[in-house]
């Protein structure tokens, strides 16, 4: 709750500072586009940053809103970061309720002549995360949560980027935004988008092959971020936390998670790169599961950055982790 209040205060100050110095007018006058000027972009989750860099190529400079290894569900930008976003040309965010700060910030950025791109705009997000409701998969019935869990996503699963097919739609939206912002390089953006699209289709085929060849379909995960894998590939996630990692299970639900994991002979527990949970540690000990690393792609680690990982390399590591988890060995 404190972080939410802090964000509101920061945005009020942010608005007063900008209105006082006439940032929008000065920006429009001083930033005449030239042939070699790069489009300055801020993006939230890592896939959006990665797709923008791949599609935009040398014509864009993309910065991440999220620092390395941050929990993207609860992060709030500082006043300094808000000012930097206001100085950019474009702000790209996922939407669907994922970024708690995005709706308020995006309205402010629009007033500063920043092009705001909601990557999930127009997408069919009717999918409900079964792990959040199903008695069979974990008993996460709808419960009242504390006020400080203001980042909860409700029934809509915003984790669309983990599905490579839906990621094609995200990439297409980014491509269209770049073309509109910089029509002079439309051909380049179109060509680069086609490369991204082709690679995403390969990842989809690789993922489907792994799951289709496995008899086991159940995986035990840190939080319910993988409902789109259920829908696309038939994987059944047993999720310890809800759509947000803050939605930890009750004692009754904890018991059901353990029972379901034993029932389906789950041998591994999949820990995420930016989510830590004592509850997950308890379950691991209780069922004797081996740990595996699964990357939710919300944000990257310093190690990811040093290794120059991208969406495709991380997803292929995820596919191998799922292959191991489903092997039961």
The string of pLDDT tens digits covering residues 244-300 is: 887 889 899 999 999 999 999 999 999 998 777 788 888 999 999 999 999 999 999
Arithmetic mean of pLDDT over the chain: 84
Angstrom distances, CA of residue 70 to CA of 219, 225, 272, 275: 24, 16, 12, 9
Q: In what order do the strands lie in the sheet with 115-118?
A: 60-64, 39-43, 90-93, 115-118
Instruction: Answer whether 2-30+38-121+157-198 and 202-327 agree in fold.
Output: yes
Going by C-alpha positions, the residue among 128, 120, 122, 79 that lies closest to residue 101 is 79
Record the pTM.
0.83
Residue in 234, 297, 294 with CA at minimum distance from that of residue 98: 297
In this predicted structure, the answer to whether residue 94 has a pLDDT above a threshold of 50 is yes
**pLDDT for 128:** 52
Model confidence pLDDT, tens digit, residues 157-177 = 999 999 999 999 999 999 999
Q: How far apart are CA 114 and CA 54, in angstroms?
A: 21
Q: How far is CA 300 from the centre of its chain?
A: 10
Q: Which residues contact residue 246 at a Cβ distance below 8 angstroms, ignoring those fewer than 6 apart? A: 73, 74, 145, 149, 151, 152
pLDDT at position 23 over 60 = no
Assigned CATH class of 202-327? alpha beta
The stretch 116-120 carries a mean pLDDT of 96
Name the token pair of 281.
């540690």
Q: Which of 66-70, 129-133, 204-208, 277-281 has the highest mean pLDDT?
A: 204-208
Domain ranges of the chain: 2-30+38-121+157-198, 202-327
Say whether pLDDT at 78 is over 50.
yes
Token pair, residue 163, equals 């599905």
The whole-angstrom distance between residue 85's C-alpha and the CA centroid of its chain comes to: 19
Collapsing DSSP to helix, strand or coil, 182 comes out as coil
Contact 70, 299 (CB under 8 A): yes
Region of poorest pLDDT, from 35-49, 92-106, 138-152: 138-152
3 state SS of 317: helix
% of the chain surpassing 70 pLDDT: 80
Q: Per residue in 29-66, pLDDT tens?
A: 444 445 578 999 999 999 999 999 999 999 999 999 99
Angle among Cα 318, 324, 329 to the nearest 5 degrees reads: 165
CATH topology (fold) of 2-30+38-121+157-198: Rossmann fold (3.40.50)
Phi/psi of residue 77, each to 5°?
Answer: -70, 150
- Overall size of the chain counted in residues: 329
The closest of 142, 136, 145 to 256, measured between CA atoms, is 136
* Partners of 117 in the β-ladder: 92
Query: Which residues on neighbouring strands pair with residue 209, listed in sequence order?
Result: none
Q: How many whole angstroms separate alpha carbon 65 and alpha carbon 77?
A: 7
**Distance between CA atoms of residues 259 and 287, nearest Å:** 9
Confidence band for 131, pLDDT divided at 50, 70 and 90: very low
């Amino acid at each position: 709750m404190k972080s939410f209040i802090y964000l509101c205060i920061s945005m009020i100050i942010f608005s007063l500072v900008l209105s006082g110095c006439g940032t929008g007018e000065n920006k429009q006058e001083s930033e005449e586009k030239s042939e070699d000027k790069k489009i300055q972009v801020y993006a939230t989750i890592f896939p959006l940053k990665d797709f923008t860099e791949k599609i935009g190529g040398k014509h864009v400079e993309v910065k991440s809103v999220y620092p390395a290894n941050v929990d993207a569900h609860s992060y709030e930008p500082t006043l300094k970061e808000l000012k930097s976003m206001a100085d950019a040309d474009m702000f790209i965010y996922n939407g669907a309720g994922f970024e708690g700060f995005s709706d308020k910030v995006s309205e402010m950025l629009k007033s500063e002549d920043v092009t705001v791109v909601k990557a999930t705009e127009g997408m069919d997000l009717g999918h409900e995360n079964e792990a959040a409701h199903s008695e069979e998969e974990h008993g996460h019935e709808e419960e009242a949560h504390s006020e400080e869990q203001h980042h909860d996503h409700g029934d809509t699963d915003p984790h669309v980027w983990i599905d490579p097919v839906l990621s094609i739609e995200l990439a297409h939206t980014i491509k269209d935004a770049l073309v509109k912002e910089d029509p002079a390089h439309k051909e380049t953006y179109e060509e680069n988008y086609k490369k991204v699209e082709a690679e995403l289709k390969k990842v989809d085929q690789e993922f489907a092959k792994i799951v289709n060849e496995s008899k086991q379909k159940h995986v035990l995960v840190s939080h319910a971020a993988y409902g789109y894998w259920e829908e696309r590939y038939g994987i059944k996630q047993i999720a310890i936390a809800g759509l947000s990692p803050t939605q930890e299970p009750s004692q009754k639900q904890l018991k059901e998670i353990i029972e379901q994991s034993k029932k389906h002979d789950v041998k591994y527990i999949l820990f995420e790169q930016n989510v830590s949970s004592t509850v997950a540690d308890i379950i691991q000990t209780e069922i004797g599961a081996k740990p595996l690393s699964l990357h939710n792609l919300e944000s990257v680690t310093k190690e990811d950055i040093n290794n120059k990982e991208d969406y495709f390399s991380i997803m292929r590591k995820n596919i191998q982790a799922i292959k191991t988890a489903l092997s039961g060995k």
